[in-house]
Amino acid sequence: MFDKLRKKLRDFTKTIEKKVTEKGKAILEGEKILADKDLNEPLEELETALLESDVALSVVEELISGVREELVGKSKKWSVDTGGLVKGAIRDALLNVFHGEKLDFEEFVNTRDKPVNIVFVGVNGTGKTTSIAKVAKKLLGSGHSVVLASADTYRAGATEQIEEHASNLGIKVIKHQYGADPAAVVYDAMKYAKANRKDVVLADTAGRMHTSINLMEQLKKICRVTKPDLVIFVDEAVAGNDAVERAKKFDEVVGIDASILTKVDIDVKGGTAISIAHSTSKPILFLGTGQGYEDMEPFNAEWLVDQLLSEKEV
Ligand SMILES: Nc1nc2c(ncn2[C@@H]2O[C@H](COP(=O)(O)OP(=O)(O)O)[C@@H](O)[C@H]2O)c(=O)[nH]1
Ligand SMILES: [Mg+2]
């Protein structure tokens, strides 16, 4: 995971360390060891590396100025542990990006009135249906009852796919005919859940390009009619900046509350999570780390940043 970005961050740390060591010998106490001009070149390289690693431009700018601020003019501390200080500066700057809202999913589900209506949105093939199955499994594991709503009435085969997951997990799917109004499916699933005292409805919607006006209107209708407690945007880490643009668009049209980022296991770049968290200011709930039902980790900014700064392969 994230091999490229991790290597670039390590190179940056080494370059700065070297500069400090070279200059440190010739400098009197109290004098600035690193000036802006010492940092320009390495920071430019770091900037390029971040951009190449799918970190969005606005985020890169914020990160670079954060790191610069941390590093310029630190004189005394340098003698202690240069590498540690550089890493610390990058770590702080990265963590700052995630300073949006937080959301504890378990607690959210525990404390909401039942049934809780959770609608999943995103483009095709990113892992929505798989993530729904993973979330269902997680909820079942913590003692909740779950109903699935097959509100992807657009793609042939969508209902069969979700039915297979439901049968593996031993839960019910509410479905209508192909081409039916997806808002009605979610509405019915909520009705069923109320009548049968189920805790959570997980609604799978048709994958849609954020540019498809019709499908986006349908999504709006689902939200207007069924008033979800939570709208979760799903996208894949490997999509990079496309995912960021899509997250913004879905947020604009229906208002997303949180994201799930899938396929982190096959992402070498590592920047998408940083970009999505920053550009939507919404929490990332989970990371998808494989195709199995158990392959989903709660998102933790510190964990991600530590992976990016770790020396070892993860
Ligand atoms: N490697 C990997 N594959 C995933 C992950 N999540 C989903 N997939 C795969 O991505 C493909 C599309 O997933 P699907 O749930 O059908 O996407 P949807 O169209 O958004 O509903 C399937 O082959 C999934 O097994 C993940 O976290 N890691
Ligand atoms: Mg699907």
Q: Which domains does the chain have, with CATH numbers?
A: 3-97 (1.20.120.140), 105-299 (3.40.50.300)
**Is any ligand 1 atom within 6 A of the Cβ of residue 128?**
yes
The residue written with tokens 């096959």 in the block is: 266
pLDDT digits (tens, 9 = 90+) for 281-290: 899 999 999 9
Q: What share of the chain is helix, strand, coil (3-state, %, to 5)?
A: 55, 15, 30
Ligand 1 centroid to residue 289 C-alpha, Å = 10
What is the rounded average pLDDT of the residues 60-84? 74
The atom of ligand 1 lying closest to the CA of 262 is 27
pLDDT at 17: 80
Q: Check: CB of residue 205 under 8 Å from CB of residue 126.
A: no
Q: What is the dihedral of CA 78, 4, 309, 73, to 10 degrees?
A: 30
Please report how the helices 272-280 and 82-97 are oriented relative to each other, as an axis angle in degrees rounded to 10. 50
Q: How confident is the model at residue 171 (pLDDT cuts 50, 70, 90)?
A: very high
Q: What is the largest CA-CA distance in the chain?
A: 78
Token digits of residue 41 = 């070149």
pLDDT digits (tens, 9 = 90+) for 12-56: 888 888 877 776 655 544 555 677 888 888 899 889 988 988 888
What is the rounded average pLDDT of the residues 74-78? 55
Query: What residues contact 300, with CB distance under 8 A and at least 6 apart?
Result: none
For residue 87, give the nearest of 59, 67, 72, 69 by alpha carbon.
Answer: 67
pLDDT at 33: 67
Q: How confident is the model at residue 219 (pLDDT cuts 50, 70, 90)?
A: very high
The atom of ligand 1 lying closest to the CA of 288 is 27
Token digits of residue 124 = 């095709």
The atom of ligand 1 lying closest to the CA of 204 is 21
**Is any ligand 1 atom within 6 A of the Cβ of residue 88?**
no
Percent of the chain with pLDDT over 90: 51
Beta-strand relationship, 200-205 and 172-174: unpaired
Token digits of residue 153 = 């009435």
pLDDT at 133: 98
* Minimum CA distance residue for ligand 1 atom 14: 127
- Nearest-angstrom CA–CA distance, 253 and 213: 10
pLDDT digits (tens, 9 = 90+) for 231-285: 999 999 999 889 999 999 999 999 999 999 999 999 878 889 888 888 888 999 9
Ligand 2 centroid to residue 195 C-alpha, Å = 27
The residue written with tokens 């085969």 in the block is: 157
**Is any ligand 1 atom within 6 A of the Cβ of residue 84?**
no
Cα 82 to Cα 104, 240, 312: the distances in Å are 36, 32, 19
Size of the chain in residues = 314
What is the rounded average pLDDT of the residues 283-309? 91
Say whether pLDDT at 131 is over 50: yes
Enclosing H/E stretch for 117 = strand 116-121
For the sheet with 258-262, list strands across it: 172-174, 146-151, 200-205, 116-121, 230-236, 258-262, 284-288, 296-298
The atom of ligand 1 lying closest to the CA of 290 is 28
pLDDT digits (tens, 9 = 90+) for 79-119: 556 667 788 888 988 888 887 778 999 999 999 999 999 99
The residue written with tokens 């020396």 in the block is: 311
Ligand 1 centroid to residue 131 C-alpha, Å = 8
Greater pLDDT, 33 or 292? 292
What is the rounded average pLDDT of the residues 52-79? 80
pLDDT at 109: 98
